[in-house]
Every structure is written in C-alpha cells, then in structure tokens.
Amino acid sequence: MHGKAFAPEYQGELGSALGVNSSYEEVLTAADRALSQADTALERARAALALAEANRRLGQVDDAGAAWRHSYRSARVAGDEGAMAWALWSGGTLARQCGQLRLARRLLTWGVALAADSGERLAHGYALAGLAETGRIQGDYAAVAALHEQLLEQGRKHGEARHMVWAMSGIAQMRRNTGDYTEALELFEECVRIASDAQDARGRAWSLRGVADVLSLRGETQRALALLSEAEVICRAMDLASALAYNHKMRGNVLYRQGSYEAAREMYATALEEFNAMREPRGVALSRLGLVKSRARLGRDRSETLAELTELEGDFARIGLRHARETAAAFRGELAAELSMTGRRAPADRREPSGVTRRA
C-alpha cells in the first residue's frame, strides 16, 4: 500500500506551498522568494535546497550548483546535519546529471553518513537511492541490485510511492539491459500504475518512457510512440527539461528501431541540442551515438562512422557508462559483420529485415 506522492525536498513553509506536481518555474519563484525572506540559517538552507532542485530540473546547472552549496553552508551554520545531508543529496544528484559520477558517489556517500547520524530517514533513503542509481548508470548491476531491492522494501514499508517507483524502475532498467524484456515491461507498467494512483505526474512520465522503450524492443513501435507523446505532455506541463530531452532521445531510439532513420536522425539532433543547452554529458553522448547509427544507416562514409564511434567509446569510458559503451561496441561489430559479408559499404537505403529490432 502507498499514499499520495509527496516531495520531502520542499521543507518548512515551502513544504505546505509546493507539491510533487508543482512546475519547476513555480518552485523557482517560491524558493527565491523564501530565500530572500529567510530569517534563520535553517530557513535559508531549506529555501536554497528547493532552489537547487528547481534549477537542476530546468537544466540550469550553474545556478543549481551555487544553490546546493548555499544550502549546505547554511545548514552547517545552523548545525543541522539532516539539512546538510539533504544538500549533499542535491549536490550528488547534480554531479550525476553532469556526468561527474565519481563526485556524485562521494557527495552521496557523505550524505548517507550525515543522514544516518542525524536520524533523517528520508534524506538517508534519498541519498542511498542516489548511490544506487549512480551505480546502475555505470552498469555496476551486481553492486546495486540488492540496494534497489532494499529501497523498494523500504518504500513499501513506509508507503512512499515515489521511492517505490524509483526503485522498481531501476530494477526494470537492469532487467531491460540484460535482455529480460518480459519482467522489465511488467515492472515499468507497475510503476505507471503506482505513479498514477499516487498522483505523481513526474514518476508517471519517466515510467511511460520505460514502457515505451521495452515495447519498441518487442516491435510495438506505434504504441511506444503514443506513450512517449503522452509523457511529453507531462514533461512540458511541469518544465521537466531533462526528462523531456530523454523523452526525445527515446523517441529517436524507437524511430531507429522502426527503420525510420531520417526521422530518428532529426529527433536525436533535437535531443542533442537540448542536452548541450543544459550541459548534460551523458545525454549528449547517448544522443550522439543515436546520430552516428542513424547516419550510418543513411549511407554515411564508414570510416567517418568508425572514427566517431571510437571517440564516443572514449567518452563513455570517461563518464563511466558501461552499457552505453557496450552498445557502441556492438554497433561497431554490426558494421564489421556487414563489411565482411558484402565487401563494400551498405547501400544508403538499407532497411532492417522485417521483424528485426536493434537496441539503441
């Protein structure tokens, strides 16, 4: 069982004024006002935390970085370790978004320790969740699988829908990446149900993207595109800049799997522009990989394709994205196999055989 979703990162007076479905422009305005009116260090820490989260979600990473540090310094002045832990969670989450995964792990580990010492259960859970997601993004499934399960049980125990959706979608993503599409689809669909029941629009948008991904891998591309359109409406209504960019990147994946390479190329280019604007290197690299694959299918010179793949594999290694690097290597293998079979460049109008899907 679970209750209505709530947003514990909005604290003090902001906690009563804002909710999980507040748009981030609304959060930004309210947090900025609260910060200017704050009378105590703890009030400043809470306002700056909300300001950091709003800026991060809007892709304004410099402002987000300044705000979480302001929150941490104010919490330290107030002597509140729980508030310090929340600030470190925000900073660690921002670092992960910016592709600084080692820094993310350091900040989140520190946040876990401070939250545990202070007895701040929610900050402890959020920081642990951040550590687990960082490990999952890096492809270190063995290290974080048990932690995802632990966090899911905690979410169920306390009836916290957002935590349940987060942990379950992480497990689903690992299942998807290891080829268990049936269980992945079941888990993502359960996430959609929980988020919908808990009135968590953001969780619903992310979960719909997961469902669309798996459906397209199974060949149901039209249904997948419809779900992504539904999720896009939510992203735009809530000013979810990063989620919208990932939605566009996923639409590129679905179009690629459908064999619509020109449309896929255009969508990857849109996502790339969005990720560049918010300086999110993980999204940039993933969108570039989609562009490389689409252009290759449209007849790009093979040597140029291979050169860019080499560059991207280096980016994935630097950021620490194991699964993405494996995907790039797999595509390199496809090109090599085609070359050995044909002895020449694949025709520009080549399309996938009927019923065959490709991972992107």
pLDDT tens for 163-217 read 899 899 999 999 999 999 999 999 999 999 999 999 999 999 999 999 999 999 9
How much is the pLDDT for 342?
67
Q: Computed from CA positions of residues 250, 90, 127, 12, in that sequence, does the dihedral angle turn out positive or negative?
A: negative
Does position 44 have pLDDT exceeding 70, yes or no?
yes
- Sequence-distant (6+) residues with CB within 8 A of 140 are 322
**Across 74-86, average pLDDT:** 97
How much is the pLDDT for 341?
74
Q: What is the pLDDT of residues 2-41, one digit of tens each?
A: 657 678 899 988 988 888 888 889 999 999 999 999 999 9
Instruction: Give the closest residue to 169 by CA, choosing from 156, 159, 183.
Output: 183
How much is the pLDDT for 357?
40
Q: What is the pLDDT of residues 270-293, one digit of tens each?
A: 999 999 999 899 999 999 999 999
Instruction: Give the closest residue to 134 by CA, choosing from 143, 125, 122, 121.
Output: 143
How much is the pLDDT for 356?
38
What is the DSSP code string of 36-56? HH--SHHHHHHHHHHHHHHHH
Say if residues 232 and 244 touch (Cβ distance below 8 Å): yes
What is the pTM for the complete model shown?
0.85
How much is the pLDDT for 355?
39
Range with lowest mean pLDDT among 274-288, 312-326, 333-347: 333-347
How much is the pLDDT for 59?
86
Does position 349 have pLDDT exceeding 50, yes or no?
no
- Sequence-distant (6+) residues with CB within 8 A of 303 are none
Mean pLDDT, the chain, whole residue set: 90
**Across 104-125, average pLDDT:** 94
Structure tokens at 206: 């992310």
How much is the pLDDT for 2?
60
- Sequence-distant (6+) residues with CB within 8 A of 284 are 272, 275, 276
* Structure-model confidence comparison of residues 79 and 162, the more confident one: 79
How much is the pLDDT for 358?
42
Q: Computed from CA positions of residues 102, 66, 58, 121, in that sequence, does the dihedral angle turn out positive or negative?
A: positive
Distance between CA atoms of residues 324 and 301, nearest Å: 23
